[in-house]
Amino acid sequence: MGAASDTGRAGPDGRGRTGSAFASPGEPVYETSIGIPRHGAGPREVARASEIWRLFQEVAMEATTAAGWPPERYRAAGTAFVIYGMTAVHHREVGYGQALRARTWVYDFKRATLTRRQIRLEDDGGPVASCTQQWVHTDTDLSPVPASPELLAAFPPERPEVPAVTLPDFQRIDDAPGFGFAFTPWHVWMDPLAHVNHPTYVDFCDESTCRALADAGLDPQGLVPVAEHVRFKSGACAGDEVVVRSRLVGRTARGDAVFRHDIGGTRPFAQATTVRRHVDVGLVEALG
């Protein structure tokens, strides 16, 4: 079961929204405009991978609200959608203030409990990022339960011909040294379900890689996101011990580095795979 929910709402400009939504309740494909907020860009003036995940989350939130299911309706029903897996691909980097168009739709709904959502971000230059989210419908105790007929009617599956997002193939590397770090989540990080919100796990993975780069005398801000997959096991809460254990596990045909991250500590929290390159050096050679 997953670790975060889309049943919380950001502030009016919490995700750098640049335009209004264009879908009405019941439309299967939702479209809106969105952009990178100032705090989402790093020293190179481009968005971190986790910030793209936060845009995906906001688009999903807007879409469920436009379909007639805002956060307060889930709360009244005693239910939630909890994410248990997500795969994203970054086609290119984008900077602060860059206006993006977003499209999202429900891809499938199995046993009235498990659903996948597709989200695409683009601008006038073409695709920017794509993701497939995996959600489970739960009760207030976060146990899986079937969705109501009213909810199922609000989210009809659409566009099955568009494939789910997947990670690139890679050649395995089995002898690279491990690296990582440990920490305690802050109370002010907690989301509406009192867990670390799911995009933050991408920060955990990238922080581990950045620390390894810094230890090697390389610029950690040169890390470039290519793709990632996170499978959530439980939600990290304030006061938990979190240990991130990372290792280089492969190289893609383009030469990008593939990292495996096991996020545990107090209990198993998540497993992740990130695909990354660097603006200056080859990551496989640097951390292999």
User: What would the two tokens of residue 168 be?
Assistant: 């690139």
In 3D space, the residue among 35, 264, 263, 260 whose CA is nearest the CA of residue 276 turns out to be 260
Half-sphere exposure of residue 220: CA atoms within 13 angstroms, side-chain side: 15
Contact indicator for 67, 96 with CB cutoff of 8 Å: no
Q: Where are the domains of the chain?
A: 4-154, 170-287
Q: What is the mean pLDDT of residues 21-38?
A: 73
Phi-psi category of residue 37: left, alpha or beta, with phi > 0 → left and psi -120 to 50 → alpha: beta
Mention every residue, 6+ apart, whose C-beta is less than 8 A from residue 49: 88, 90, 202, 206, 225, 228, 274
What's the pLDDT band for 31 if we cut at 50, 70, 90? very high
This prediction has a pTM of 0.90
Any bridge partners for residue 182, and if so which?
A: 243
3 state DSSP class of 91? coil
Is the pLDDT at 1 greater than 90? The verdict is: no
- Read off the pLDDT of residues 214-252 as tens digits, 9 standing for 90 and up: 999 999 999 999 999 999 999 999 999 999 999 999 999
Dihedrals φ, ψ of 204, to 5°?
A: -60, -45
Is the pLDDT at 4 greater than 50? The verdict is: no
Mention every residue, 6+ apart, whose C-beta is less than 8 A from residue 83: 2, 3, 4, 5, 6, 133, 134, 135, 198, 232
Q: Report d(CA 247, CA 279) in Å as an integer.
A: 20
3 state DSSP class of 111? coil
User: What would the two tokens of residue 180 be?
Assistant: 């990582």
Q: Report d(CA 163, CA 108) in Å as an integer.
A: 12
Superfamily of domain 170-287: Hotdog Thioesterase (3.10.129.10)
User: What would the two tokens of residue 68 be?
Assistant: 């007639």
Mention every residue, 6+ apart, whose C-beta is less than 8 A from residue 226: 89, 90, 168, 252, 256, 275, 276, 277
Q: What CATH number was assigned to the domain covering residues 4-154?
A: 3.10.129.10
Q: Report d(CA 237, CA 146) in Å as an integer.
A: 26
Q: Report d(CA 25, CA 207) in Å as an integer.
A: 39
Question: Of the spans 10-14, 154-158, 188-192, 241-245, which averages the highest pLDDT?
Answer: 241-245
In 3D space, the residue among 40, 94, 49 whose CA is nearest the CA of residue 210 turns out to be 49
Q: Report d(CA 287, CA 259) in Å as an integer.
A: 10
Contact indicator for 109, 133 with CB cutoff of 8 Å: no
pLDDT of residue 210: 98
Is the pLDDT at 19 greater than 80? The verdict is: no
Dihedrals φ, ψ of 35, to 5°?
A: -155, 170
- Read off the pLDDT of residues 117-172 as tens digits, 9 standing for 90 and up: 999 999 999 999 999 999 999 998 889 999 999 999 999 998 888 999 999 999 99
Dihedrals φ, ψ of 150, to 5°?
A: -65, -40
Share of the chain above pLDDT 90, in %: 85
- Read off the pLDDT of residues 244-276 as tens digits, 9 standing for 90 and up: 999 999 999 999 999 999 999 999 999 999 999
- Read off the pLDDT of residues 37-83 as tens digits, 9 standing for 90 and up: 999 999 999 999 999 999 999 999 999 999 999 999 999 999 999 99
